[in-house]
Protein backbone atom coordinates (compact mmCIF):
# COMPACT_ATOMS: atom_id res chain seq x y z
CA UNK A 1 0.00 0.00 0.00
CA UNK A 2 1.28 3.47 -0.87
CA UNK A 3 2.12 5.97 1.83
CA UNK A 4 -0.70 8.40 2.59
CA UNK A 5 -0.02 12.15 2.50
CA UNK A 6 -0.88 14.20 5.59
CA UNK A 7 -1.91 17.86 5.85
CA UNK A 8 0.88 19.94 7.38
CA UNK A 9 -1.67 21.85 9.52
CA UNK A 10 -3.88 19.16 11.03
CA UNK A 11 -1.78 16.03 10.30
CA UNK A 12 -4.82 14.22 8.82
CA UNK A 13 -5.12 12.55 5.43
CA UNK A 14 -6.88 14.41 2.61
CA UNK A 15 -10.15 12.53 3.08
CA UNK A 16 -10.28 13.42 6.81
CA UNK A 17 -8.79 16.93 6.66
CA UNK A 18 -11.28 19.65 7.56
CA UNK A 19 -8.93 22.59 6.91
CA UNK A 20 -9.90 25.24 4.37
CA UNK A 21 -8.53 23.89 1.10
CA UNK A 22 -6.81 26.32 -1.24
CA UNK A 23 -3.65 26.29 -3.32
CA UNK A 24 -0.54 27.09 -1.31
CA UNK A 25 1.00 28.96 -4.26
CA UNK A 26 -1.78 30.90 -6.00
CA UNK A 27 -4.47 30.78 -3.27
CA UNK A 28 -6.99 29.36 -5.78
CA UNK A 29 -9.65 26.90 -4.61
CA UNK A 30 -10.33 25.09 -7.89
CA UNK A 31 -9.36 21.40 -8.07
CA UNK A 32 -6.95 21.47 -5.11
CA UNK A 33 -5.33 18.25 -3.90
CA UNK A 34 -2.99 17.39 -1.06
CA UNK A 35 0.55 16.66 -2.21
CA UNK A 36 3.58 14.95 -0.69
CA UNK A 37 4.85 18.07 1.13
CA UNK A 38 1.59 18.41 3.11
CA UNK A 39 0.31 21.41 1.19
CA UNK A 40 -2.67 21.73 -1.14
CA UNK A 41 -2.10 22.74 -4.79
CA UNK A 42 -4.45 23.41 -7.70
CA UNK A 43 -4.07 21.48 -10.95
CA UNK A 44 -2.25 24.32 -12.74
CA UNK A 45 0.34 24.76 -9.98
CA UNK A 46 0.79 20.99 -9.60
CA UNK A 47 1.52 20.69 -13.32
CA UNK A 48 3.84 23.71 -13.37
CA UNK A 49 5.82 22.50 -10.34
CA UNK A 50 5.55 18.77 -11.08
CA UNK A 51 3.81 17.98 -7.77
CA UNK A 52 1.89 14.71 -7.63
CA UNK A 53 -1.19 14.21 -5.45
CA UNK A 54 -1.90 10.95 -3.70
CA UNK A 55 -3.31 8.35 -6.09
From CA 3, how far away is CA 24, in angstroms rounded? 22
Give me the mean pLDDT over the 31-48 stretch.
Answer: 97
Give me the mean pLDDT over the 20-32 stretch.
Answer: 97
Give me the mean pLDDT over the 21-50 stretch.
Answer: 97
> What is the model's pLDDT at position 3?
76
> What is the model's pLDDT at position 1?
54
From CA 54, how far away is CA 13, in angstroms rounded? 10
Judge whether residue 2 has pLDDT over 70: no
* 41, β-bridge pairs: 33
Give me the mean pLDDT over the 7-26 stretch.
Answer: 97
Q: Which residues contact 14 (CB under 8 A, 6 or more apart)?
A: 5, 7, 33, 34, 53, 54
Amino acid sequence: MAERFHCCVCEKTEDKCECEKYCFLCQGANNVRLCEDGQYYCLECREACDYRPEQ
